[in-house]
Every structure is written in structure tokens, then in C-alpha cells.
Chains A and B, each alone.
Chain A
């Protein structure tokens, strides 16, 4: 029998990172709910969202971890990078400082994920073109130099949000097809066929089995 009874065949783990207030949670909300969340409170911790998408005829479940952007949580949020198949790195095109900090986010990502992790740079708030502080060209160059995928998006209008999440998934899927991503590696961030909701935060592996009977 095929995977018929299930309606997805892979789980990809994503993390969303970037400075406070760049709109990480709004991007997640726009992606999972197709709505813009105005007055979104600061994320104190790590939010969790999920959606099933289709890539090359394969249903894929995305498990998305949206991390707190505040500097003081940086040490703790580092725990969540482990085992991410995709990392969405977000800055705010209207705040240059959020762009300037990208290299530090990128360093963390490179250090804490595996080499096949797909890193996608998102310049959020593209609807506020009038207040733009970072040009498209500049960011594009940064992305090219560091081998990142890149779009400018708007969690408010939804522009390019879907694309960013889907393109990341396509790239991951491509890596699987090419054999660049080893599904058996514990930290690939990809699970083939659905399994019980594994705890992607590797910090508490022992507690996973508590409720198994």
C-alpha cells in the first residue's frame, strides 16, 4: 500500500529567525491563516504553526517554529535551530539595524544547523516601500554572496509570503531528490512518512517517552 491513508509524506521543520519586530510571527500567521495579525505581541518564547503544502505532487507537512527575536532570548532560542531543514531569516526593509544584524543571525544559523539546511532571506514589510531603508539590490547582493535565497515580502498584504515558504520546501525537496540531504541523519529536519509528533527541540529528548504506554 502507498501512503494513501495519510495525506502527507514528509515533515519539514522550519525555523524563523531575525531581530525583534521584523514580523516573524506575522509571516507565520499570514502563511498558516492567510490573515494579517495587526498589533501582534512580541513573541516570548517559540510559537509553533503547521500547514500542509504540496511540492511536486508530494504532500508535505511544515512544522514551523517561530522564535522570539529579543536579544536577551538569543541564548535560549539557539536550542531551536538544531534539526531545522529550513531557516527563514527575516529583516525589516524599513529598519536598517535589522539588516545589519543579519550576519550575526547567519553565523548562528550556519553554526547550529547542518550544511544542507536551506536558508531563505526575507525582507519583510515590502508594503512600506516609502519608508524603505534597505534597497532590494543591496540585500540581493548580500543574499547572493552568502548563497541564500531571497525575496522581499509583506506579511501585511501576503505578497511573496507563500512563495518564500514554498520555495524553501521545494529546495529541501530537491535536496532529498538529489541525495544531498540524508533523511536518516537525526538532524536533517525532515521526516519521511508521518510519525508521532516528535519534539524537534533536542534539549529534552528524554521526556519524549513519558507518555508512551
Chain B
């Protein structure tokens, strides 16, 4: 199936008005738990709108659209971001595609093929197009493809660890479970300590640092542990705006380093700048070793919703066991535009992404402590500027603050929801005539405003101070600062290790518990005495006592081709059992002539160990045993003629010895010319049944045959039990069960060739081993006798010769031959019958007992 054919299948998943414009068949998506999964990626276009679909296929390649299910939908709107990384070690073969839309971000691994270019081109065309249109597309058409959210997927994969059976996903799940458990137990291995955090913000209005900053950065009794200092309007030049380059960054950074508290040594955690917004985070040198995972991000919300003249810059890091995020933002200007500022805030919240290898991307809200500072640009619009100035000059801020847009919007939860701001006890920080403490004297006559603010979010943060620094007057804004006392969680390494080990142990335990567990009621199945051709059944019960479905199967032991001996039948030998359910397994023993021969010869015994294997778990051994009651059935003729006592009275070893020596020259130890068992049966029929209608044609009763078997084996002195038909059947079964047929296998083909010629047949019989010949002729003689009574018993020589032909000239079951065609088999059967026929119609008494 080529790419275009797959594309056709994928297209069928969508409406005809929704066109699949590009497709990648061999993408892998990184799921939240960092498990890579094979997926298809498609770009689908509907009118002007495009979206990326990630599809799961139940088979590969998908045969019909029903094999596909939509897993992820990323609409290409103006929140859509696409970044492409190479795998550093292997830049040629693998690409990582980071796609972000609205609140979701996904990482895909893609094999580098020419199709990737088409796909990426198409993707970027989509991004360009969406940024050209003024209104945000609505993507109504996507609503019908609702997708369940990730949390659900994770929950499911934890609940259903198919794991034990086939895939590796739970390994990664285990990792995330450890993380989750550790964070649940955080209190057990952390203690807290307060650290002071200095946050400062200043819109410097395109000025260089020509004055000392000590009055802003170093005015407190104790040097803070952490400095977070944000600037706005560092550089208003066009070059900065367009090319994002400025000298001012270094100037201000050096100034900061010069004027921070000199009583402590500081080290830079990170600094980040977007156009005129600069955020610097410093920490006391002695704490630096406890800072980890420092990442920054910037979001432009300026012109076209993208440019960096407005927006935010952010730095996050983990300090001890507390995650901290600092945001410096410069929100939309203009007096009336508070809605726009609210939107900027939301955009910064939504679009800031701290991306780290091997981890879920974090957004601002995913932090324990958040400090948000900056020129937020909210104004006072509903109060006459003169009144504002008058009240402010009297330090009567309260009535003015009631009209502060930010206070109002914050109270209405339109912005900074969940954040706190301390009480404002300083004069508005905007707008002054640069170089003075005088209100702006330009023609606009705007009301002064608290543009520069500091918010925080986090349970264990206390603000110690919130103030402006009017003496720093080079800008039209005054700098603002706040001091916080923040409680930081510190890991007690020893306790951490202990808790970690506990968690690991718990998971090990869980994993061991998830190993399939069953209870088998009987592991030693004793069949007691087992007799020839008598089926015995035992039942064992397997109960699934684990937490998962269990699949069991009886498996082969080393170097064996069957999981059990030939005389044993196990049903079912393979099945799946749900938790708490049981399954009954029937073990059936049936000793037929093949196994009886082996039992008699001592090459097999009624003993077997079955290996019951649980997939993903242990093996259970089930021992099967019993005592086979030896019988004349399944013996060889040479052995039977030597037994002058009932077979049950013959010592086991003796029988085995006889069976194994039967091919040796027959000595004169032999007791009988023919086996006595054959004689008993024949004689009984001769005496009582020659005139029985349907002799040898009507079947006997199985139960009576078994009684006759016991009679023969035990040497009973009672009369033979059962009807003539049962005796006749027992005779046939006995003749059939001998180890070799009466005419040995190696003579069969000669017999068949000679079957048309009575003299040749005679010759063959003459040359048979003595006891075989005896049995053969004895039986033929008896059958001739029976045929004398054909008017009563209904026998005819044709039927009898067919019946006995198949017995005397039994096919060798061990001889692997090409499957005989029906016709061929018929011909062979006819020849066998023909062979025997000669001896039923001709007088051969001269052969009898000749030596």
C-alpha cells in the first residue's frame, strides 16, 4: 500500500468538503507520559481553515477508514506554533516537530523523508494564511471530531496494564507514577525555610543607566536571597524593535550588578529579553547549587499579536523543591485599552511554555510561587486628573485607587485571577517629567497612574514591603519594588531517599501483585486404576485470584513436541480467565491399543507432569498419575501364548521382559499354540453362537466388552459374561489390539501382490512365524465353520473376508505414507479381503499345526 492509497483511506475519515492536504504515515507522538506511539499526521483543510489531525490506526497500513481514530486535533489558528528540532546525534534521520495550538502542545518524532518537506510546507502555508486574516477562525467544523482528553487516556493506561502481556508502556507509566507518588508524599521528606525575594520593575523610557540604582535595589536591612528585576522600554529604537538587538541590555545588566546589595555575593540565574523587556534573576551564590531546571520563554503580544514591543518575558526554575516563576510584562498602552491589557495578560499566560527535554511543558500556572511584575499600564480614567493629583498630593490614595482600572479588573476577576497585590501606599509611578518629581507637563494632561505593579501567587508568600523609589527620576516612570518572605520547601535528602525507596518498594509490590495469580485446586491428579479402553475423567479448577485477566496455556516441556502424553486429553488447554472467575479443565485418560502396548512393554507409564503456564507469570506443574491395569489387549501374540496364568497375575517385570524379548527365537517354553484368550472367545462363539443371526455384524455392548476384558484378564471361572455379539466384538478388538497384526507389517505388500493367487497366499501363510500361522489358520477354520451356518447367522464369505482382511492385514500406523486416495484404499481393502477369502473357501486343514 503506498502513500497515496493510505491518503485515500485517511480522506474517507473526513467529509468530502474537508480535504486532506498533506499526510505523514510514520509519525510518532510523545504522549504525556513520554511514551512514543505510532501515529498518522494529516493536515485537513475546510474552506480557509486548516487543522492538524493526529490519527491512531488499529492496523498498519489502515485498510479502511474505520481502522482510524482521531486522537489529537490541533487547529491552525493564531495561537498555533510549530517548531522543528533535529535530534542532535542524528541530524539526518529524525526530526522533532513541536506543534502547539491553544492550550495543547505535542511533540512528534518524524522520519526524515521527502514527504516531510511537503507536510511542513503545507503547515507553514496554513500558519501564514491564518495570520493574514483579521478575524480568528472559528473552526466550527472541528467540533464534531471531539476527542477525549489526555488525563483520561493516562488514567486508562494505568488501569489497564496490558503491559504484562505485550507492550512496554507501563515502564514509562511507572516512571510517572513514581513522580506522582513522590509529590503526594512531599510533606514527608521536605521542611520549609523562609527566603527573601526582591522584585523590582521599572519602565526606563529608553534611557541609559546614568544614575546610581542603589536607592532602588539596595535599601533593605538584609540583602535579599533572590533578586528579580524587570525593565520595560529599555530601547525604543526601530532597530531594537525590528531586529531585537540592543546595547542597553548590557548597560542595564551591568548597572544592576553594580548596585545590588554588596553585602552578599550574587550569581545570575538567568536573564531574558524581548525587545524592550528585560528580566534578570539573581540569587545568592550560596543558594545557587539548589537551583535547577532554569528555563525562560518570551511572548510578544504587540502589533499583530506577535511583536515584542508588548508582551512578557518569564524565567522559571526549581529552587530546592519549590518551583518559582517570574514574569515581567509590558501590557498594551493607551488609557482606555484595559480590555486589551486583560487580553495581553491572558495571552502571556496561555502562550508561555517552558519546554524541557523529557518533560511535560510547563506553563506559568504550573508553579508553586509566581511573581508577576511590570508596566501593566492600567490607568485611572473615571476621575478628573486634577482631583487625582490633589488627593495624591495629600497622600490620600484610597479614593483614587478605587478608580484604578487594575484594582477594578482584578476585583472582577477579569485579570490576575488568583493573584494577590499588596496595599499601595506610594504615589502613582507615572507620568513624570523626566529628571524631576513633577507630573507630566506635556499637553495631554493625563491623570497620574499606578502603571508599575507587582503581583504574586502562592500560599506561602508574605509581602514585607511594596514601594516606589521616586528619587530615581531619569524616566517618566518611577521604579517600584517589593520584598517578599517566601517559604521554600527543602528536601531532606535522607528522608527523601527513604520515601523514594518506600515508593519504589510499593511499586515493586504492585508490579508483583499484577503478575497473574491463579489458584489450582488440585495439582496432583490421581486417576487410580485405569483400565483398557475405559475413559476416565478428572476435573481441576483454576481460579484467577489476581487483579487482571489471566491467559493460561499448557506448554511443552523441554524437547517435547506435545504438552502431554498421548493417552491424556486436556480440555481446554488454553483459555483466558477474568479476575475472580474460574475455569474447569477436564483431564481425560484413555488407554487405547497404542498406549496399552507401550504400557505393557514398560516404555510408558501412567505418569505425566503438565506445565500450566500463565502468560506474564508463573508456571504451575500438574502431576497426573494412575495405575494401568494390564490387560491381554495390547499384548503381542508371542507373549500371550507364553502366559499360562491370567495376565493380572503376571508380575509386572515379567510381562515387560516378555514383551521386550518377543522377537527372540520362540523357545519351547510356550504353553499354548494360540493365545488362550483367543481360544476362550472363539470357543464360546463356536459353542453358543454359530447360529446367532448377524454374527460379527451386530455390535456388542461396550459395558459387556469391558466385562469380557476383565473376565479374560482375571481368569475367572465363571462363564463368559455378555451376549454373543459382545463376545464377537471383544474377539475382533483383541485381534486388532495386538502389538503386531497377525500377518506382520513387513509382509503386507507381498500378501497384497499375491492376493489373486491362492497358492502364493498359502505359501506366505506357511512361512509365517509359528504362532501367527496358528492363529491365522485357527481363525480361518473357525470362520469356515461359521459359514456352514450362514442360513442362520446370515454370514457370507465376502463380508467375513473383508472384515477379517482388515484385521489380519492391519495397516501400520507408524508408517508415514502418502494419504491413500479413496479409490486406492478401496483396491487395497479388496485385495486384503481377497487374500483372506481363499482361506475361507478352500480346505487348508493340511496346513494346520504342521511343523
Asked whether B250 is an interface residue with its Cβ less than 8 Å from the other chain, the reply is no
Residues of A within 8 A of B609 (CB): 72-73, 75-76
User: Least Cβ distance of B526 to chain A in Å?
Assistant: 14
Asked whether B844 is an interface residue with its Cβ less than 8 Å from the other chain, the reply is no
Asked whether B205 is an interface residue with its Cβ less than 8 Å from the other chain, the reply is no
A32 touches B616 (CB 8 A): no
Residues of A within 8 A of B622 (CB): 44
Q: What CA separation (Å) do A195 and B171 show in the bound complex?
A: 10
B557 touches A76 (CB 8 A): yes
A5 touches B358 (CB 8 A): yes
Q: What CA separation (Å) do A179 and B172 show in the bound complex?
A: 29
Q: What CA separation (Å) do A213 and B165 show in the bound complex?
A: 12
Contact segment of A46-54, A130-138, A151-159, A164-172: A46-54
A50 touches B515 (CB 8 A): yes
B35 touches A5 (CB 8 A): yes
User: Least Cβ distance of B381 to chain A in Å?
Assistant: 53
A46 touches B619 (CB 8 A): yes
Q: Interface digits, B479-512 against A, CB 8 Å rule (1 contact, 0 not)?
A: 0000000000000000000000000110011011
A73 touches B621 (CB 8 A): yes
Contact segment of A83-91, A102-110, A140-148, A199-207: A199-207
**Which of A1-58 touch B at CB < 8 Å?**
1, 4-8, 32-34, 44-52
Q: Interface digits, B603-615 against A, CB 8 Å rule (1 contact, 0 not)?
A: 0000001011101
User: Least Cβ distance of B506 to chain A in Å?
Assistant: 11
Q: Which of B34, B504, B616, B623 contacts A197 (CB 8 A)?
A: B616
Residues of B within 8 A of A47 (CB): 618
Given A79-B557, A204-B613, decide whether A196 and B166 contact each other with a Cβ distance below 8 A. yes
Count of inter-chain pairs, beta carbons less than 8 A: 105
Asked whether B556 is an interface residue with its Cβ less than 8 Å from the other chain, the reply is yes
Q: Which of A1, A4, A32, A72 contacts B623 (CB 8 A)?
A: A72
Asked whether B823 is an interface residue with its Cβ less than 8 Å from the other chain, the reply is no
User: Least Cβ distance of B329 to chain A in Å?
Assistant: 34
Q: What CA separation (Å) do A17 and B34 show in the bound complex?
A: 39
User: Least Cβ distance of B704 to chain A in Å?
Assistant: 39
B167 touches A196 (CB 8 A): yes
Q: What CA separation (Å) do A1 and B358 show in the bound complex?
A: 8
User: Least Cβ distance of A95 to chain B in Å?
Assistant: 23
Given A1-B357, A34-B505, decide whether A204 and B515 contact each other with a Cβ distance below 8 A. no
**Which of B1-60 touch A at CB < 8 Å?**
33-35, 59
Q: Which of A44, A49, A51, A78 contacts B620 (CB 8 A)?
A: A44
A48 touches B555 (CB 8 A): no
Q: What CA separation (Å) do A169 and B172 show in the bound complex?
A: 23
Residues of B within 8 A of A203 (CB): 555-558, 560, 611
Given A203-B556, A212-B166, decide whether A46 and B171 contact each other with a Cβ distance below 8 A. no
A33 touches B509 (CB 8 A): yes
Q: Which of A72, A82, A201 contacts B613 (CB 8 A)?
A: A201
Query: Closest B-chain residue to A204, C-beta based?
Result: B555
Judged by DSSP, the binding face of B is mixed
Which among B615, B618, B621 has the highest number of chain A CB atoms within 10 Å? B621
Asked whether B178 is an interface residue with its Cβ less than 8 Å from the other chain, the reply is yes
Residues of A within 8 A of B509 (CB): 32-33
B175 touches A6 (CB 8 A): yes
Which among A47, A51, A82, A203 has the highest number of chain B CB atoms within 10 Å? A203
Residues of A within 8 A of B34 (CB): 4-5
**Which of B354-388 touch A at CB < 8 Å?**
357-358
Residues of B within 8 A of A161 (CB): none
User: Least Cβ distance of A110 to chain B in Å?
Assistant: 17
Asked whether B174 is an interface residue with its Cβ less than 8 Å from the other chain, the reply is yes
B171 touches A7 (CB 8 A): yes
**Which of B199-248 touch A at CB < 8 Å?**
none
Residues of B within 8 A of A196 (CB): 166-168
Q: What CA separation (Å) do A5 and B508 show in the bound complex?
A: 17
Q: Which of A6, A48, A78 contacts B171 (CB 8 A)?
A: A6
User: Least Cβ distance of B511 to chain A in Å?
Assistant: 6
Residues of B within 8 A of A46 (CB): 618-619, 621
Query: Closest A-chain residue to B173, C-beta based?
Result: A5
Q: What CA separation (Å) do A8 and B613 show in the bound complex?
A: 26
Which among B508, B553, B622, B623 has the highest number of chain A CB atoms within 10 Å? B508
Residues of A within 8 A of B165 (CB): 197, 211
Q: Interface digits, A180-213 against B, CB 8 Å rule (1 contact, 0 not)?
A: 0000000000000011110001111001000111
A194 touches B168 (CB 8 A): yes
Q: Interface digits, B317-359 against A, CB 8 Å rule (1 contact, 0 not)?
A: 0000000000000000000000000000000000000000110
Residues of A within 8 A of B646 (CB): none
Which among B35, B174, B622 has the highest number of chain A CB atoms within 10 Å? B174
Which among B523, B555, B558 has the highest number of chain A CB atoms within 10 Å? B558
Asked whether A68 is an interface residue with its Cβ less than 8 Å from the other chain, the reply is yes
User: Least Cβ distance of B535 to chain A in Å?
Assistant: 26
**Which of B606-642 touch A at CB < 8 Å?**
609, 611-613, 615-623
Q: What CA separation (Å) do A6 and B163 show in the bound complex?
A: 14
Given A44-B523, A68-B621, decide whether A5 and B175 contact each other with a Cβ distance below 8 A. yes
User: Least Cβ distance of B359 to chain A in Å?
Assistant: 9
Query: Closest A-chain residue to B614, C-beta based?
Result: A48
Given A4-B358, A45-B611, decide whether A50 and B620 contact each other with a Cβ distance below 8 A. no
B172 touches A6 (CB 8 A): yes
B515 touches A44 (CB 8 A): no
Q: Which of B87, B511, B620 contacts A45 (CB 8 A)?
A: B620
A45 touches B612 (CB 8 A): yes
Residues of B within 8 A of A44 (CB): 523, 620-622
B358 touches A201 (CB 8 A): no
User: Least Cβ distance of B16 to chain A in Å?
Assistant: 31
Asked whether B164 is an interface residue with its Cβ less than 8 Å from the other chain, the reply is yes
A33 touches B555 (CB 8 A): no
Residues of B within 8 A of A33 (CB): 509, 512
User: Least Cβ distance of A84 to chain B in Å?
Assistant: 14
User: What are 7 A-B residue pairs whose CB atoms fall within 8 Å in the complex?
Assistant: A1-B358, A5-B171, A49-B512, A73-B609, A76-B557, A201-B619, A212-B166
Q: What are the nearest 6 A-B pairs in CB distance?
A: A45-B620, A79-B558, A46-B619, A204-B555, A48-B618, A45-B621
> In the complex, given contacts A32-B508, A51-B512, A197-B166, what are 16 additional A-B residue pairs having Cβ atoms less than 8 angstroms apart?
A1-B358, A4-B358, A8-B171, A45-B523, A45-B619, A46-B619, A52-B508, A72-B623, A75-B557, A82-B558, A194-B168, A197-B163, A197-B616, A203-B555, A203-B556, A204-B556
Interface residues, chain A, with chain B CB atoms under 8 Å away: 1, 4-8, 32-34, 44-52, 68, 72-73, 75-76, 78-79, 82, 194-197, 201-204, 207, 211-213
